[in-house]
Amino acid sequence: MNNLLSNPTALDSQDKQAEFEKLKQRIHSKLVDKLDLTHVGDLEGDILRREIRLVVEHLCDTEDTFLNRNERDRLIDEVLDETFGLGPLELLLKDASISEIMINGPKDVYVEQNGKLVKAPITFRDDKHLMQIIDRIVSKVGRRVDEVCPMVDARLADGSRVNAIIPPLALDGPSVTIRRFGSNPLKLEDLLNFKSMTPEMVMLLEGAMKAKLNIIISGGTGSGKTTLLNTLSSFISNEDRIVTIEDAAELQLQQSHIVRLETRPPNIEGKGKISATDLVRNCLRMRPDRIIIGECRGPETLDMLQAMNTGHDGSLTTCHANTPRDAIARLETMIMMSGFEMPMRAMRTQIASAVDLIVQINRLSGGPRKITAITEILGMEQETIVMQDIFSYIQEGVDESGRAVGHFLSTGVRPTFIPRLEANGVRLPASVFRERIMLRD
C-alpha cells in the first residue's frame, strides 16, 4: 500500500484547495437535497454506495469544474466519505501503518505512524464539521457528547478506541484521540517477529493461561497492554465461559462462548450510570469460568481480586504502571478508592492471594514495545508482598536512530507454580528457566 500520508492531491495552491473545498460542499449539499431517504433505506452497503456514486458523478458533470480526472475521483470519494463515513478521517483509517490519530481542533491533526508522531495532511472545515463527525461516531454506540456531557469514550466499527472532549473543557476546539487496533489483531507470531518477547516467554505464558493462573498486564499508555491481553486470550479453551467488562468494548477475543459487557455513562439527568463495579458484581451471577476486565482503574479492583480469590481462576486484567512493584502499589490505591477501611496487611494479603503473575510491558525509546518483566508473586513476608522476576529485558542503550537496544534475560528462577502447570498437563523443559541471555536486539 502506498503511504496515504504523502501528498494526497495535485491541488498545490491554497486558492485551488479553497475552490476544491467549496465545490465539495456545494455538491454534498446538492446530494443531500437530491437523496430520497425513503428509497435509500432499501439499499445496503456497497450497493448503496455505488448508486450514490452515480448520483455524485452526475452532479460533478453539471458543475463547471477545474478538476482533472484524478482530482475529480478524489472529490467524489471525499463526498461519499462525508455522506457515509467519517469525512476526512477515512483517509487516515485506510492506512494500516497508523496506530493513533490525535485531533487537536479542526485544523491540527497528528498521527502516530511506525512509532513516530507526524502531522497529517487533513483538516476539518471548522468546529461544527468536526462535531458532526464526533456525533456520528458516538451515536453509533448509543452515547452522546454535548455541553452537559462534554467527554465521551466510544469505539469504531473495527474496535478502535475513541475519546472525545469538546468545549467548554477543550479550549481550542473539539479534541479527539483514536487508538487503533485494526480488524486483524496482532498474533503471537507477530509479537515474536517484532522481538517483543521470546519463545521461552510464550511457552510460560501459554502454560500459565492453560493452568488458569490469574494474570495482571501492567504498562504505560500506548505500551500495548490491550494487544497483549488479546494475544494471551488466544490460549483460553473454547469450552470456557468468558465474561468481558470494558468501558468501551475493544477486546477481540476469538472464543465462541463470550458475554461482552460495557459500562454506561449517566443520562442527561445524571441518572442511569452503570459502572465497572456494578458489572463485576453482576457477572459473578452469570457463572463465568473467566472474567476479563479491559482495565482496572477504580473501585472495581477490589471486586475483581475477590472474584480471583473465590473460584474464578484464569482471570485477566490490565492496569497502568511502570514496573511490577508499581503495579502492586496501584492495586492498593485502587482498592482504597472503593471506600472500604481495610488494614494494609489485609489488603496486601488479598492481592498476594489473588494474583499469580504480573506481565510488565513497556514502550521504549524509539517506539519498540517489549515485555520487560514476567514476575511471579510468591506471597507475604511480614508486611511486604514478595515477588521474583522469571524473565526480564535489560535495555543497554539506543542505536543511531534513537531506537532502544538490549537483551532478554532468563533469571534462572524456577517458578513455584510449576506443579500447577503440570497438574493441568503443561510440562515445560527445565532449559526454559536456565539462567542466560535469551535474545539480543
- Tell me which of 85-89, 117-121, 350-354 is least confident: 85-89
Whether 33 shows a pLDDT value over 70: the answer reads: no
Q: Quick one: pLDDT at residue 268?
A: 73
| pLDDT band at residue 7 using 50, 70 and 90 as cut-offs | very low
Instruction: State how far the Cα of 230 lies from the Cα of 198, in Å rounded to an integer.
Output: 18
Q: In three state form, how does the secondary structure of the chain look?
A: CCCCCCCCCCCCCHHHHHHHHHHHHHHHHHHHHHCCHHHHCCCCHHHHHHHHHHHHHHHHHHCCCCCCHHHHHHHHHHHHHHHHCCCCHHHHHCCCCEEEEEEECCCCEEEEECCEEEECCCCCCCHHHHHHHHHHHHHCCCCCCCCCCCEEEEECCCCCEEEEECCCCCCCCCEEEEECCCCCCCCHHHHHHCCCCCHHHHHHHHHHHHCCCCEEEEECCCCCHHHHHHHHHCCCCCCCCEEEEECCCCCCCCCCCEEEEECECCCCCCCCCECHHHHHHHHCCCCCCEEEECCCCCCHHHHHHHHHHCCCCCCEEEEECCCHHHHHHHHHHHHHCCCCCCCHHHHHHHHHHHCCEEEEEEECCCCCEEEEEEEEEEEEECCEEEEEEEEEEEEEEECCCCCEEEEEEECCCCCCCHHHHHHCCCCCCHHHHCCEEEEEC
Q: Could you tell me the pTM of the whole model? A: 0.78
pLDDT of residue 12: 53
Q: What is the mean pLDDT of the chain?
A: 84
387 or 271, which is more confident: 387
pLDDT single digits (tens) 239-255 = 899 999 988 777 888 78
* Residues 383-392, mean pLDDT to the nearest whole number: 94
- Report percent pLDDT > 70 for the chain: 84
For residues 402 and 409, the model is more confident at 409
Is the pLDDT at 97 greater than 90? The verdict is no
Predicted confidence (pLDDT) at residue 35 exceeds the cutoff of 80:
no
Mean pLDDT for the stretch of residues 269-298: 89
Please give the span between the terminal C-alpha atoms of the chain, in angstroms, as a whole number.
Answer: 28
Confidence check: pLDDT of 13 > 70:
no
pLDDT over threshold 80, residue 61: no
pLDDT in tens, 155-200: 888 878 899 999 999 988 999 999 887 656 678 888 889 899 999 9
Residue 56 has pLDDT above 70, yes or no: no
pLDDT of residue 47: 63
> Can you tell me the mean pLDDT for 9-35?
64
Listed range (8-22, 158-172, 268-282, 409-423) with the worst mean pLDDT: 8-22
Residue type, 249: A
Look-up of cell digits 452469570: 286
pLDDT tens-digit map of 314-350: 999 999 999 999 999 999 999 998 888 888 999 999 9
Q: Report residue 206 as a C-alpha cell.
A: 501459554
Question: Does residue 409 register a pLDDT over 70?
Answer: yes
Instruction: Find the mean pLDDT for residues 265-271.
Output: 78
Please, which pLDDT band fits residue 38 given cuts at 50, 70 and 90?
very low
Domains in the chain: ranges and CATH: 1-84 (no CATH), 85-181 (3.30.450.370), 188-440 (3.40.50.300)
Confidence band of 16 (pLDDT split at 50, 70, 90): low
pLDDT score at 1: 40
pLDDT at 34: 63
| Helix runs in 250-318, H state only | 276-283, 300-309
What are 222-232's pLDDT values in tens digits? 888 988 998 89
With a cut of 50, say whether residue 354 has pLDDT above it.
yes
How high is the pLDDT of residue 11?
45
Residue 361 or 46, more confident: 361
Q: Which residue has the higher pLDDT, 155 or 209?
A: 209
**What pLDDT, on the 0 to 100 scale, is given for residue 158?**
81
Measured CA to CA, the distance from residue 40 to residue 251 in angstroms comes to 33
Which residue would you say has higher pLDDT here, 35 or 127?
127
